[in-house]
């Protein structure tokens, strides 16, 4: 019998169930707070940046110097193209400065934010670009300032699209937490790797995967419903 | 009073510079409903956007009560834009805000206290005839209702000028009528100056007292609607005023070809009710052939035209012209291009 099939024999399943009961609650909690905090910080950084990408554009409401926009775009593209696994290693010095250590759940938030905020910026950019330019023109014709256009028109009008994109961000970041779990972070990713990869306990690995999949489903359906409920363009 | 002085605007496109406006000079008096009409691409939208400086003119100036808008600071310009508001073809309501919030939008921009802004918005909902739509979202309204909310929003800051950019072009004829009626009523009640940009002559006929015809970025004709409408001089104006006429004039398929084509233009309310052609047949013995006719209401007066063919030679034509000229408020134009043998040979 192959090693793989052996991993699902009754005694192994019982062992996996034991791990599920003893270690999964903590792992789930770690995964959740790391994901949510990383998403929050990524939005805090990515939202203003995304707004700047749209408003500072050549044809935006407040064009910024072209070289500046060029630099911002290059940096975002650079961070977006570095594989996450490598990015985790690259930001270790930064992580040590901010958290004091590069090991553990809290420390894993730093590389997650560094990886996710340029992604969020691009998502915000695409949400805001969907907006009908005639609406912006209306706001200008009424004497709105740049800030008023951003906060009273662009953002409120884009709420459903932003929620949809933030949902995409949170599920992506959740996937990344599993990777950071393998690189010294905590959570379900760490459990899956420690038991499944290092000790051939595939049953534990699959249980961890099932929980992660369920988490994604929950985030996604909450996000989708929230976006639909908040969208006043849908006739009810 | 709004004065446009020698306004020009050119854009740089990939195919080189395009002159959207060429030396446009206009004066719009307070309380006017001023129509600016032209085919698509004539520069109407650019012109209206120059009036509130959404587009900066390349040359020339826009004067609002003698103040050059081009020379204003950003802050002063924002103030002017509360005086010169705008409604659009696509309504441009905030789709994620209720009707009430939409109307309060321009007031929030100037930090009007909430209670005051809401009271004003509710009063405007009343004005535009939708008092029960305060908490409804725009998506639940018809096009006509959305435009009413947009009008209410445009009026929130008590502007002195309302710019209407193809405001009825997305609406069906019946809704167009009701929106125009609303604009006319607001003009009457508040004395607000209205500038109407449109490609539809019917809109100008319906509400405007003055009109400018724009073609290829230049004003080709300008004046009182009744005058421009009854005696269109420029070819572009004729094409707009008598669109039905062009086909007939070009093809001439309805005329026998042996008579003289004459255009009658009615300029009063009484003449259209008179059986002019029948009485001419009885009084002069000239049985004119009616090739086309159309009468409409402009303001409160009846206007219209009729294209007839007078059979026979110069003698009959002379008598017919004399007969028709004697009727008040009717202008006669002999269409030199058609009918007469000389014109045909030429």
ipTM: 0.88
Give me the phi and psi of B308, to 5 degrees please. -125, 160
Q: Contacts of residue B163 in chain A, CB cutoff 8 Å?
A: 141
Closest CA to B321 of B289, B271, B266, B280: B280
Cβ A140–B80 below 8 Å, yes or no? no
Our CA-based measurement puts residue A71 at a distance from the nearest CA of chain B, in whole angstroms, of 26
Contact A20, A91 (CB under 8 A): no
Query: Does B170 contact chain A (CB < 8 Å)?
Result: no
Q: Which residues of chain B are under the pLDDT cut of 70?
A: 242-258, 267-274, 295-303, 335-346
Q: Contacts of residue B140 in chain A, CB cutoff 8 Å?
A: 235
Our CA-based measurement puts residue A51 at a distance from the nearest CA of chain B, in whole angstroms, of 19
- pLDDT for the residue numbered A177: 92
- pLDDT for the residue numbered B298: 60
The number of C-alpha atoms within 13 Å of B258 and in the hemisphere containing its C-beta is 3
- pLDDT for the residue numbered B252: 42
- pLDDT for the residue numbered B346: 33
Give dist(CA B267, CA B79) in Å, integer: 42
One digit per residue, pLDDT tens: chain A, 236 residues?
A: 577 788 788 888 888 888 888 889 999 999 999 999 999 999 999 999 999 999 999 999 999 999 999 999 999 999 999 999 999 999 999 999 999 998 999 999 999 999 999 999 999 999 999 999 999 999 999 999 999 999 999 999 999 999 999 999 999 999 999 888 888 888 998 898 888 888 888 888 889 999 999 999 999 999 999 999 999 987 65
pTM of model > 0.90? no
Give me the phi and psi of A176, to 5 degrees please. -70, -30
The number of C-alpha atoms within 13 Å of B200 and in the hemisphere containing its C-beta is 19
Run of H or E residues at B296: strand B289-298
- pLDDT for the residue numbered B268: 65
Does residue B61 sit in helix, strand or coil? strand
Query: Does B76 contact chain A (CB < 8 Å)?
Result: no
- Residue with structure tokens 């002085």? B5
Helix locations, chain B, DSSP H: 44-51, 74-83, 99-109, 114-127, 143-155, 173-190, 201-207, 225-230, 235-241, 243-251, 276-284, 314-325, 341-345
Q: From edge to edge, which strands make up the β-sheet containing B301-310?
A: B289-298, B301-310, B260-266, B330-334
- pLDDT for the residue numbered B296: 64
Our CA-based measurement puts residue B175 at a distance from the nearest CA of chain A, in whole angstroms, of 22
């Amino acid at each position: 019998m192959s090693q793989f099939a052996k991993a699902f024999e009754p005694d192994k399943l019982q062992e996996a169930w034991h791990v599920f009961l003893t270690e999964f609650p903590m792992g789930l909690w770690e995964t959740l707070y790391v994901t949510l905090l990383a998403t929050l910080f990524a939005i805090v950084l990515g939202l203003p940046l995304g707004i700047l990408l749209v408003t500072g554009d050549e044809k935006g409401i407040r064009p910024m110097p072209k070289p500046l926009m060029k630099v911002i775009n290059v940096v975002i593209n650079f961070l977006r193209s570095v594989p996450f696994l490598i990015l985790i290693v690259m930001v270790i010095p930064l992580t040590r400065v901010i958290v004091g250590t590069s090991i553990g759940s809290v420390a894993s938030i730093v590389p997650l934010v560094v990886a996710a905020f340029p992604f969020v910026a691009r998502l915000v950019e695409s949400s805001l670009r969907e907006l009908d330019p005639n609406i912006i023109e209306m706001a200008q014709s009424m004497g709105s300032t740049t800030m008023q256009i951003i906060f009273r028109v662009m953002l409120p009008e884009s709420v459903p699209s932003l929620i949809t994109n933030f949902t995409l961000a949170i599920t992506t970041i959740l996937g990344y937490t599993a990777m950071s779990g393998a690189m010294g972070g905590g959570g379900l990713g760490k459990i899956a790797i420690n038991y499944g990869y290092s000790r051939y306990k595939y049953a534990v690995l699959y249980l961890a995967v099932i929980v992660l999949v369920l988490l994604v489903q929950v985030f996604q359906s909450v996000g989708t419903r929230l976006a639909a409920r908040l969208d006043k363009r849908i006739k009810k | 009073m709004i004065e446009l002085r020698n306004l020009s605007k050119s854009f740089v496109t990939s195919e080189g510079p395009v002159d959207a406006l060429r030396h446009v000079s206009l004066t719009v008096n307070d309380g006017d409903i001023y129509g600016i009409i032209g085919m698509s691409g004539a520069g109407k939208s650019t012109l209206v956007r120059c009036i509130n400086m959404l587009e900066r003119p390349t040359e020339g100036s826009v004067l609002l009560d003698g103040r050059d808008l081009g020379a204003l600071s950003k802050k002063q310009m924002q103030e002017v834009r509360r005086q010169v508001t705008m409604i659009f073809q696509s309504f441009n309501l905030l789709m994620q805000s209720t009707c009430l919030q939409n109307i309060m939008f321009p007031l929030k921009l100037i930090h009007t206290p909430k209670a005051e802004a809401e009271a004003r918005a509710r009063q405007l909902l009343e004005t535009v005839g939708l008092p029960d739509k305060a908490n409804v979202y725009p998506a639940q309204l018809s096009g006509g209702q959305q435009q009413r909310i947009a009008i209410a929003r445009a009026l929130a800051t008590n502007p002195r000028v309302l710019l209407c950019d193809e405001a009825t072009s997305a609406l069906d004829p019946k809704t167009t009528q009701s929106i125009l009626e609303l604009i006319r009523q607001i003009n009457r009640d508040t004395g607000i100056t209205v500038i109407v940009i449109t490609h539809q002559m019917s809109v100008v006929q319906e509400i405007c007292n003055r009109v400018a015809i724009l073609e290829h970025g230049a004003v080709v004709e300008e004046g009182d609607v009744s005058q421009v409408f009854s005696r269109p001089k420029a070819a572009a104006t004729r094409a707009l005023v008598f669109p039905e006429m062009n086909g007939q004039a070009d093809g001439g398929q309805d005329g026998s070809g042996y008579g003289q084509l004459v255009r009658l233009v009615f300029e009063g309310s009484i003449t259209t009710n008179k059986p002019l052609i029948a009485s001419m047949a009885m009084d002069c013995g000239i049985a004119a052939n009616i090739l086309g006719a159309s009468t409409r209401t402009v303001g409160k007066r009846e206007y219209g035209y009729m294209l007839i063919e007078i059979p026979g030679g110069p003698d009959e034509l002379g008598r017919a012209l004399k007969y028709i000229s004697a009727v008040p408020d009717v202008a006669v134009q002999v269409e030199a291009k058609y009918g007469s043998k000389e014109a045909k040979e030429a």
